[in-house]
Amino acid sequence: MLDLTYDAPAPRVIQGARDDWELVIGLEVHAQVASRAKLFSGASTEFGAEPNSNVAFVDAGMPGMLPVVNEGCIALAVKTGLGLKAAINLSSAFDRKNYFYPDLPQGYQISQLYHPLVGEGEVIVDMAPGIARRVRIERIHVEQDAGKSIHDMDPTKSFVDLNRTGVALMEIVSRPDVRGPEEAAAYILKLRQILRYLGTCNGDMQNGNLRADVNVSVCRPGDYERYQETGDFAHLGTRCEIKNMNSTRFIQQAIEVEARRQIALVEDGRAVVQETRLFDPGKGETRPMRSKEEAHDYRYFPDPDLLPLEIEQAWVDEIAASLPELPDEKKARFVTEFGLSEYDAGVLTAEVEDAAYFEAVVTSGADGKLAANWVINELFGRLKKDDRAIGDSPVSAEQLGKITALIKSDAISGKIAKDLFEIVYTEGGDPERIVEERGMRQVTDTGAIETAVDEVIAANPAQVEKAQSNPKLAGWFVGQVMKATGGKANPAAVNQMVQQKLGL
């Protein structure tokens, strides 16, 4: 296990016209459950399908239809809770949140207000190597997504696509423990990473698979500590909620401008009004969307179509036993098992597919550090150049493992290894066979090296004289021999032979 010492939160301080202000941020992250069917129907959740083709009668709010809870979605939400070290509530319930919207044909959203499936947990957020912060999770509830209204396809009409209606979401609600824009971005990325490791959400932010409502308030230094001591929110400022953000860059910008807007208001003697706002990236400002509604505005009540959700501890234990190794544990293991730096281990574990690839390289190769070097510097660099994902890397982990094994056993030099990598990348093939067939094996045979050194020395008497009075020039001979052997001579052996022959 990782020995994590949490660093005291470092609040972002903004200087107003008169005072210093600190930021307080809490996030509600909506993560789409990685299920192929919807929460209460068997309709498909496939992204990008023909509009209104993945809609069951219950999704369309047809009278007389009854929702049936999808056990797979609940299992994934429980898994998520366990991955966030959260309490799982064996007894939870679904509530109706009533509101009208054209893309919500039922006239209500089925959610969990009073008794969520998952209780308190935590996310450890890495800010830099060795610096980690703890953000408490308040709850995770399971709910339905709404459909999509499309207003930009026709100048006079709006369209509704119900494909997304009824897709399962997990709303992951944090405590207001995030203290600055960078921390907010790092929190979302860490959460996304954990969900992807768990396989409970695919975390594709561009497709709205993971999106966040960001609550922002400002307070005077000392107020947050008073809130922490007493748990009394009255010590904090009034919050505004910035809705539906799906880019960490925009989240940071939005927090910054929203905090400055609130500071200007308060310093001007006016009050922050609790409301829902939208961020306009073009204008770089937030603007009101609707005044903040309270729970009672939605006339929440327990959904009479659904029984309370009772799950058994044995089932939870079974899911707990199936949890994969999570990012923090994997990173710590990479450091101890392979002797990697924390930075490299962080790079290799950022995406679960990268970590798996790296481990497969080590399995067919020889050395963890060497493998890390090649994955990070050569492979990632090359893939990036071609804008390819690790999933369609032309060099398989087994091939790269063989390349590193050839380096490790001194069969090829590091320089030749780069040529070999390029051949495998563009043409494919078995690295060992390529080395044999194309005569790329490193020359360690001292006889052959001696001959090459002798030839270079014989051909350059003037250089020999110079090198003998200035030993630094011996490097020139090493370079010539390497050139003459097509880069295949072992550089250390050449260097030694040159020194010896020149009598240095």
- Name the site residues for ligand ADP (rule: CB under 6 A): 24-28, 173-176, 215-217, 233, 236-237, 239, 241
The pair of structure tokens assigned to 265 is 């208001």
| Binding partner of 132, given ligand ADP, Mg ion, none, CB within 5-8 angstroms per partner class | none
Residue environment code for 123-142, b if the CB has 16+ CB neighbours within 10 A, otherwise e: bbbbbeeeebbebebbbbbb
Element (H, E) at 185: helix 181-198
**22 or 95: CB nearest Mg ion:** 95
Distance from C-alpha of 40 to C-alpha of 142, rounded to nearest angstrom: 11
**175 or 369: CB nearest ligand ADP:** 175
CB of 114 to ligand ADP, least distance (A): 12
Task: Enumerate residues 75-104 that contact Mg ion by CB under 5 A.
Answer: none
CB of 215 to ligand ADP, least distance (A): 3
Distance from C-alpha of 120 to C-alpha of 134, rounded to nearest angstrom: 13
CB of 250 to Mg ion, least distance (A): 19
**28 or 256: CB nearest Mg ion:** 28
Phi, psi of 113, deg, nearest 5: -90, -55
The pair of structure tokens assigned to 238 is 């009034």
**Total length of the chain:** 504
CB of 258 to ligand ADP, least distance (A): 10
Distance from C-alpha of 305 to C-alpha of 294, rounded to nearest angstrom: 24
Say if residues 110 and 303 touch (Cβ distance below 8 Å).
yes
Read out DSSP for 88-133? B-SEE--EEEE---TT-TTSEEEE-SSS-SB--EEEEEEEETTEEE
| Binding partner of 176, given ligand ADP, Mg ion, none, CB within 5-8 angstroms per partner class | ligand ADP
Describe the crossing of helices 181-198 and 327-338 by its angle, rounded to 10 degrees. Answer: 80
CB of 161 to Mg ion, least distance (A): 24
**275 or 305: CB nearest ligand ADP:** 275
Phi, psi of 190, deg, nearest 5: -70, -40
CB of 38 to ligand ADP, least distance (A): 23
Q: Which residue is nearest to ligand ADP (CB)?
A: 26
Amino acid at 491: P
**28 or 275: CB nearest Mg ion:** 28
**143 or 351: CB nearest Mg ion:** 143
CB of 298 to ligand ADP, least distance (A): 10
The pair of structure tokens assigned to 244 is 């539906």
| Binding partner of 6, given Mg ion, ligand ADP, none, CB within 5-8 angstroms per partner class | none
**32 or 174: CB nearest ligand ADP:** 174
Q: Which residue is nearest to Mg ion (CB)?
A: 28
222 — alpha (psi -120 to 50), left (phi > 0) or beta?
Answer: left
CB of 173 to Mg ion, least distance (A): 7
Tell me, residue by residue from 28 to 67, as one string, x for binding to Mg ion by CB under 5 A and - for no binding: x---------------------------------------
Element (H, E) at 71: helix 71-83
| Binding partner of 174, given Mg ion, ligand ADP, none, CB within 5-8 angstroms per partner class | ligand ADP
CB of 295 to Mg ion, least distance (A): 9
Distance from C-alpha of 109 to C-alpha of 165, rounded to nearest angstrom: 10
**293 or 337: CB nearest ligand ADP:** 293
| Binding partner of 76, given ligand ADP, Mg ion, none, CB within 5-8 angstroms per partner class | none
Please choose, out of 24-32, 40-48, 319-327, 474-482, the segment that lies near Mg ion by the rule CB under 5 A.
Answer: 24-32
**257 or 443: CB nearest ligand ADP:** 257
The pair of structure tokens assigned to 35 is 């299920």
Say if residues 371 and 380 touch (Cβ distance below 8 Å).
no
What are the residues binding Mg ion (CB under 5 A)?
28
